[in-house]
Chain A
Amino acid sequence: MKKILCVCGHENPEGTTLCEKCGSPLSEEEKGRKLADMRYEGTAIRSKTYNKTIIDKIWNFFSSVKVGVSIIIITLVAAAIGTFLPQVIYVSVPENADVKETYADAYGIFGTIYYNLGLTDIYGSWWFQVLIGMLAISIIVASLDRGIPLYKSLKNQRVKRHENFLKRQRIYGAGEMTAAEVDNAFDLTEEKMKEMKYNIRREEGALLAEKGRFARWGPYINHVGLIIFLFGVMLRLMPGFYIDKTLWIREGETMAIPGMEGYYLESEKFVFETYSEDEQKEEFNQSKKAVNAVAKNYQSDVKLFKAPDDAVPGDTSNLTEVKEKAIKVNDPLKHDGYALYQMDFRLNELKTMHFNLTDKKTEKSLGAVAIDLTNPEKEYKVGKDSKVVLKKYYPDFAGFEDGEPQTASPLPNNPAFIFEMYTPETPKGETSFVAIKQPIEPFGENKYAMKFSSVDTRNVSGLTVRKDKTLMILMLGGIIFMLGVTIGSYWSHRRLWLLKTKDGRLLMASHTNKNWFSMKKDLDAVTEYAHLPAYVDQYDEDQKAEEEEKKLKDKEKEGDNTL
């Protein structure tokens, strides 16, 4: 490895721009600057030093802040485009309909183009994931590239720096003083700066006051937090870390909880409430009637059961109750790392249908039949000598196809039945097709009919079953990020250097990574107390000089005009 020799005799690794020991400028670029580039303390940064092999090139690509910011901006724009129309997960596509058609119907040509470009599922697209991946790589590479050298450099800081270093700081002052005055100034500075909570280090003829160095680690800490967070998000793709199931459970039912082995849930009741009128603040409610429709509460009253460890799956004979809970929106049931959320509901689902086996002429009933629509029996005894056989059951009758009745779903939304009715008068049986409001007698006129009498309904709760083992990792990432971003934002790294030169001057220079205004308040205090030489903000001076130059030029121009 090439070494760079400084005027002070210190050997610096290749790529160093400010001497590690004395702070003198080393590179031509750095020498050309009026003020030292203090961002990474002039330390050798890999990406700025090597650019030969393919690995160097990849490293340099990802460590570049320009590339990082570009990825951020591209991600940002892509994310924004994804909000132009609702994403496909938020669009209710009617059954038997195409997603593309749905977009075309709702949003016209724009919707079609949007769909064809794949923008309706933009966040799930491979290229969006690649963008996030690249962002993660960029964060890691850039942090290692800058963070490690910066850490080393700040850890091994020397107290005594070269005049060339001090002169090239933004805040700089120099004054002639006797040796005694200088010593006195050093002592007073130490005293005052200590009072202001600075750490003081002194060497022969030099002083370094430093405060808040840890603020420089803020950005690197928050990047670690982000990486942990993104890692957690990736982990959800691994089996077992993340469960997301839906459970529809009817009032009175006990069901095995999907994804949650050995646990059963009993639904006692589903409650849906809306606000009543007198719950409204009268003087402020102009639209009182409309408010009646405002939902107040969705709630499933449930009991959670656990089967014994050695139980056969599905065996519900030996359940022990674990918990009783009213699951509400914002108040899930949590147990053993799982959570059950109130997500959806169906009101008044048909539960039981009551029929009477009736003689059509005399309208005399032979007896009642109650059919449990979710669990119908094959045969129902009616009275002593009659029976009804349920030949076929169509829970969600959707019309005929080729003469055959069809069901659209297994949900009892529109039940239809084919009954065979056996009575002493009709021992061979009569067949009847019964759907809501449309009895059909396919084999000629029957003597008996299944007459509808009443129906029982019940509510259904739509619950989401979640287990997310990554939550703790995400939380950890979030906490570390907040910690890093807080110390990086709310604290600043401030330093003051004093140097006694051989020709009898006292030099002072100061640097802070931000909030120069507050730094100057500290400096004003110490300058006055310790009689330090007056300082100037060279950055500001630059601007003033520029402005003056500009004014001069303008005046010259005006002069030209008047001539």
Chain B
Amino acid sequence: MSLIDLSGNLLFVAFVAYLVATLLFGGAVKGGSKGESENAGKKWGSLAIVITIIGFVANLGYFITRWIYAGHAPVSNMFEFTTAFGMFVVGAFILIYFIYRVPSLGLFALPIAIIIIAYASMFPREVNPLIPALKSYWLYVHVITAAIGESILAISAVAGLIYLLKNIDLTKRSKQSFWIEIVMYALVLVLGFVAVTTTFNVTGYEAKFSYVNKDGATQEITYNTPALFGMHQSELLTADKMEPLANTPSIVNAKKLTTVVWSILIGTLLYGLIRLIIRKPIAVVMQPFAKRANSQLMDEIGYRSVLIGFPVFTLGALIFAMIWAQEAWSRFWGWDPKEVWALITWLYYAAFLHLRLSKGWQGKKSAWLAVIGFVIIMFNLVAVNLIIAGLHSYAG
């Protein structure tokens, strides 16, 4: 088995371990609540954390073997970075778990890590050679520190989510119960993306088009999903494939748009199916798992993880970033979209801390802020890399 195969297998082991650990954490949460002895819950809990750690070690194994194989840290494209981010989320969870020992945190943190890794694996997994701009040890230092910071901040959102599930009265229609369901819907949409990409990958769908780009030149593009939208003045080159429903102007990347629309369609369908089967909002089904959590403790975990994550994020995403930018691009700051979004994330969490410290925003307000913070981080990861082009866009 070559190193790269080993690396792929280790990632798979980690993925499965996280799935199993999620179920065990579910047992730990439920076990304690069904009037069984507290010990039963604790046993489930310890088993769950052991499996999580085994998964995390396998995940680290993936990271290290791929690093050795590629000759550079596997954080240089979308697949590598997102996988690393998922891994660090698990790492951050383990860290927080050993401070507070709350199993319900695992029940929600691990599925989020699983979704992130699943999302990552939808991108091309090839090992790319580094372009000159990335050839620096600052690549490892900056990207890894920033990713660790972001993942600790993500745990705050997980704690916030648990707090909200527990404390929002879902029996009544309210803004909050609506938005918490939107959060659930958004998670299902990611699964929709995974489902769409996997399905068409397995069936090997490929349709070539020619189109006219922004500069008026003719280019070719390959769609891996049936084209809902065509590129500017596109023409189908592969026989017997679906013609696009409509062509778009040249500034729109219709291929990406098609993928997004497919994901939303399938994700919504998936959501509808789930709702049909369970016959109530997903949040309502999730709520019992959060009910056992201690609100005050969740509030503190949410705050604590921002406190732990914020300095790490500052160091990685701003300070190391500036040092590297000075070295590579001769200026420490250039208002490149990715730089700006790192600043936005930083400003956002600075506002979070000030609101909490001085305005006494605790409980639900703080929990919502943490969830929104995660939305910003994900926007940073997904939209800024894929949609907003900039110096960092090679990450796509």
Contact = CB atoms under 8 A, between A and B. Distances in A.
Contact of A79 (B310, B343, B359): B343
Interface in B292-318: 295-297, 300, 303-304, 307-308, 310-311, 314-315
B97 interface: no
Interface stretch (A282-290, A418-426, A443-451): A282-290
A478 B318 CA distance: 10
A73 B251 contact: no
A433 to B, nearest CB: 33
B246 interface: no
Contact of B129 (A69, A80, A244, A291): A291
A515 interface: yes
Nearest to B129: A275
5 contacts: A69-B355, A90-B390, A285-B127, A296-B129, A515-B304
A72 B354 contact: yes
A283 B127 CA distance: 9
Contact of B327 (A219, A330, A464): A330
A108 B359 contact: no
B347 A75 contact: yes
Interface string B312-342: 0011000100100011111110111100110
Contacts of A86: 337, 389-390
B131 interface: yes
Given A286-B126, A471-B326, A518-B99, 5 more contacts: A82-B335, A86-B389, A279-B129, A294-B131, A474-B322
Interface residues of A, number: 66
A89 B129 CA distance: 28
Interface string A341-355: 101000000000000
A523 B389 CA distance: 53
A294 B124 CA distance: 16
A127 interface: no
Contacts of B322: 474, 478
A514 interface: yes
Nearest to B71: A281
Interface stretch (A177-185, A311-319, A482-490): A482-490
B54 interface: no
A330 B354 contact: no
A172 to B, nearest CB: 16
Contacts of A297: 132
Interface of A: 39, 65-66, 68-69, 72-73, 75-76, 79-80, 82-84, 86-87, 89-90, 106-108, 123, 219, 244, 275, 279-281, 283-287, 291, 294-298, 328-330, 332, 339, 341, 343, 464, 466, 468, 471, 474, 478, 481-482, 485-486, 489-490, 514-518, 539-540, 543
Nearest to B360: A39
Nearest to B358: A65
A66 B331 CA distance: 33
B69 interface: yes
Contacts of A464: 330
A482 B314 contact: yes
Contact of A80 (B4, B331, B340): B340
The 6 closest A-B pairs by CB, nearest first: A65-B358, A329-B132, A341-B330, A330-B136, A83-B337, A489-B307
Nearest to B306: A489
B251 A329 contact: no
B342 to A, nearest CB: 10
A515 B335 contact: no
B275 interface: no
Contacts of B126: 281, 284-287
Nearest to A475: B323
Contacts of B201: none
A333 to B, nearest CB: 12
Given A80-B340, A295-B132, A482-B315, A107 B251 contact: yes
B351 interface: yes
Contacts of A83: 337, 340-341, 384, 388, 390
A281 B69 contact: yes
Interface in B346-385: 347-348, 350-351, 354-355, 357-359, 384
Contacts of B100: 517
B330 A73 contact: no
A115 to B, nearest CB: 15
A478 B321 CA distance: 12
Interface string B1-17: 01010000000000000
